[in-house]
Amino acid sequence: MRSEHVLSQLTVEKFTEKIIKEVKNNTGKTIQDAQDKEIYYAIASIVNEQIIPQWSETNKKYEKINNKQVYYLSLEFLVGSLLESNLLNCGMLDVANQTLQKLGLNAEKIYAKERDAGLGNGGLGRLAACFLDSLASLNYAGHGFGIRYRYGLFEQRIIHGNQIELPDNWLKDLYPWETRREAEAVCIHFRGEVDMLKKNDGNLEFKHKDTDKVMAVPYDIPVVGYQNKVINTLRLWSAEPVGGDQQDSITEEGSKYYQELDHQHSIEQISGFLYPDDSKLEGKELRLKQQYFLVSSSLQTIIKAYKKNNQRSLKYLPEKAVIQINDTHPTLAIPELMRILMDEEHLSWENAWNITTRVIAYTNHTTLSEAFETWPVGMMEYLLPRIYMIIDEINERFCKGIWFDHEVLRDEIPELAIIADEQVHMARLAIVGSFSVNGVAPLHTEILKKQEMKHFYTLFPNRFNNKTNGITHRRWLLKANPKLSELISDVIGPQWIHRPKQLISLVKYSSDAAFLEKIAQVKYENKRILADLIYDRNGIVVDDQSIFDVQVKRLHEYKRQLLKVFHIIYLYNELKLNPNMDITPRTFIFGAKAAPSYHLAKEVIKLINKVASIVNNDSTIRDKLKVVFIENYNVSLAERIIPATDISEQISTAGKEASGTGNMKLMMNGALTVGTLDGANVEIKKAVGDANIFIFGLTADEVLNYYEHGGYSAMDIYNTDDRIRTILDQLNKGFGSDEIEFKDLYYNILYHNDPYFVLKDFEPYLETHEHVERVYRDKLRWLQMNVTNIAYSGKFSSDRTIKEYATEIWKIKQV
């Protein structure tokens, strides 16, 4: 261990002393009488004591060297829990664990007292959190800007098999990692009127007046680098009324009092809750307010910091700042930066545009065109009149440019225009107003270039680039799977922790029988822990020797949880016909939240739970199959499920999953992928080789071909394949005894022609799973495959991804 880089060098004795003192000061109790939660807070404050001085050191250093910094703007940061990862990154985790053990306390139970910060929907939000971890750990000056939602993504309960949503009141108790910085609050303006004045020099000046004002108050969270004394910042904005409580107006007559309370409430709503990822958002004004609120507060801060540190004109801003926007959600950063540069800093349009388009870079995270964001012109104009004027001008100039300079694209203007069909098209604005547009896996980037954004690619070929996603190996291997980490370090040394690509050294041991036996033992222990968790939560006894076959991710038709369910129903039907069928016992594990208004997704959850209750309670199955739906899947549960997984299900319709990141987390923990050639599965296959992954199904080109030229009939498959007909009829008529049926799923497949090709890929999927089972029986072969997957997972560390962003897009240097 490079001890000079470790933030804290506390000994067990010192830690013991501090913990006893903290608990006493905070609660008046002795350690023995204190509750786990109280001990959690005590440890958090010991960690903060180490972090906070180093945090201001880091900031001073950044100011002094005055290098270019990156700002990652995102409506989501799916951070998860922080105590254990902060301990780890500070170099205090071992000491903390030893101390707790010495005191007779259960470390795991104490760490589990922390509530996840669930400020994200899924992949996109978790990616932002992994990026912050890598930025700090690689000594980059990079910070996150997001929203401090009062309520995170809903908490999921399963009641009678149905998903029920409850509010995620994550701030109910004190959140120990945040610091409110009221002195750095900024004012955000909505609505109002725009006056246009002609100045003496003939130029126009715009004054935005009579606006509704909202204070954006920052809450800063330290982002601790891995044992390198770097502490970056995640700044989350909270919306508050201007001037705090407005004491004056609430003492007037009653009606005004309630008006004022109502007004305050509507302001606080701006940071009230995180919207679930639901493509049928349809012009929710509050969501648009959230986007502008984030963008305006962050840009004001970035400009202020630039002016404080640089005496030079804002023309040089691109030398000091780069802003990465996470999907189109923060795209208003483009017109907002234009507004500040022109209306507040008095730069010309040309200069402002030149600066803006050298500062902003955009990442796209989806190929689903129905998910491309648009906002009604009327709403934008009313809520953000000055911003709308600027977008309108950007659009005018852009369309004129095509008309005059790109005659071949004249006919495509309706598809390229930023404002069209009374909507503002955010992805189009993001492409036009940025210097970099990236996809998140090679296949995804190619689809953007050749299909969804092809005309833009013709216009700006150099703007498009790929940055394959990654995950932080510190959380997803070192923290989540300490047993595997220790075993790896035992054989190849600990260098992989700093250089994850060195996991490759494991290849040498992939035929070492003694090592493979230890790998098997670690997997078994992790499965045992998960089996206990499942018993505690679901009351289901699962066989820890069975294959743990796992699909954990948001519920979406394109991710095809339904294909997995069809596989289970098929096996069940087979076993009923032939109870002595020779199959290796399997435990199917699901975790998935559905957007609250996504009816078909909720039907799939209900179906999984229905199948679970039938299969798990059928004694003739004799425990050969078990189905488990783990409710409220989140980061903390992922950290327990992933290390215990044998089979990683990555079975989206090819061309639909931009990248996937769960696929990487599972691979890094030795799980074998059963997957389609989609997103980053393609890269995993390239890394491990065909013999170490199970690939099946249509390719993206074949899927595209069917969409474009037809030729697929779900009904034909229904009519010819008995296995499928049986399953669909079971959906239509219910599974025997009770009346619950799944007609909407049945109709969607047969009468909307199975839009995600579940039936088409069913047969190859079954065959692949039969292959999986044969390989599983060859224990040595299986373990070799596990090790090969771990060995080649280093390239999927977000450290690699961040280095690529830093050198190829951001042009920033390590400090």
Provide the binding-site residues for ligand 26V, judged by CB under 6 A.
121-124, 127, 275, 277-278, 281, 287, 327, 365-366, 371, 440, 469, 657-661, 679
The position carrying tokens 């801003």 is 317
Q: How far apart are CA 601 and CA 597, in angstroms?
A: 9
Q: Name the residues annotated as catalytic.
A: 365, 553-554, 559, 661, 665
Contact 214, 241 (CB under 8 A): yes
Provide the 10 A C-beta neighbour count for residue 65. Answer: 10
- Which residue type does 677 have? L
Residue 481 or 659: the one with the smaller Cβ distance to ligand 26V is 659
Provide the 10 A C-beta neighbour count for residue 811. Answer: 12
Task: Give the residue ranges of DSSP H helices in 410-512.
Answer: 413-416, 426-432, 442-447, 454-459, 473, 482-492
- Which residue type does 9 have? Q
* Residues in Cβ contact with 225 at an 8 Å cutoff, skipping those fewer than 6 apart: 89, 136, 137, 138, 139, 231, 232
Burial of 420 (0-12, 13-18, 19+ CB in 10 A): middle
Among 739, 737, 741, residue whose Cα is nearest residue 727: 741
Both structure tokens of 515: 């090592």
How far from 20 is each of 12, 14, 48, 454, 710, CA to CA, in Å? 12, 10, 16, 63, 70
Using alpha carbons only, give the angle 406, 409, 411 rounded to the nearest 5 degrees: 135
Work out how close the CB of 244 gets to ligand 26V at its nearest, in angstroms, rounded to a whole number. Answer: 30
Q: How far apart are CA 318 and CA 305, in angstroms?
A: 13
Both structure tokens of 192: 């109002």
Burial of 669 (0-12, 13-18, 19+ CB in 10 A): buried
Phi/psi for 710 (5° steps) reads 70, -160
DSSP one-letter string for 771-807: HHHHHHHSHHHHHHHHHHHHHGGGGGBHHHHHHHIII
Contact 277, 153 (CB under 8 A): no
Cβ-closest position to ligand 26V: 123
Instruction: Tell me the pairing of strands 204-209 and 193-198.
Output: antiparallel
Indicate the SS3 state at residue 618.
coil
Q: How far apart are CA 674 and CA 649, in angstroms?
A: 5
Among 431, 440, 435, 364, residue whose Cα is nearest residue 394: 431
- Which residue type does 412 have? E
Work out how close the CB of 800 gets to ligand 26V at its nearest, in angstroms, rounded to a whole number. Answer: 15
Work out how close the CB of 685 gets to ligand 26V at its nearest, in angstroms, rounded to a whole number. Answer: 16
Q: How far apart are CA 574 and CA 630, in angstroms?
A: 25
Residues in the chain: 815
* Residues in Cβ contact with 345 at an 8 Å cutoff, skipping those fewer than 6 apart: 303, 314
Residue 240 or 657: the one with the smaller Cβ distance to ligand 26V is 657
Q: How far apart are CA 689 and CA 712, in angstroms?
A: 31
Residue 643 or 679: the one with the smaller Cβ distance to ligand 26V is 679
Burial of 703 (0-12, 13-18, 19+ CB in 10 A): buried
Looking at the DSSP bridge assignments, the partners of residue 209 are 193
Work out how close the CB of 126 gets to ligand 26V at its nearest, in angstroms, rounded to a whole number. Answer: 8
* Residues in Cβ contact with 275 at an 8 Å cutoff, skipping those fewer than 6 apart: 281, 284, 287, 290
Residue 371 or 383: the one with the smaller Cβ distance to ligand 26V is 371
Work out how close the CB of 328 gets to ligand 26V at its nearest, in angstroms, rounded to a whole number. Answer: 9
* Residues in Cβ contact with 56 at an 8 Å cutoff, skipping those fewer than 6 apart: none
Residue 225 or 330: the one with the smaller Cβ distance to ligand 26V is 330
Among 481, 512, 292, residue whose Cα is nearest residue 380: 292
- Which residue type does 302 have? I
* Residues in Cβ contact with 250 at an 8 Å cutoff, skipping those fewer than 6 apart: 256, 257, 260, 261
Contacts 24+ apart (CB under 8 A), 347-355: 347/314, 347/315, 348/203, 349/393, 351/315, 353/394, 354/315, 355/314, 355/315, 355/317, 355/318
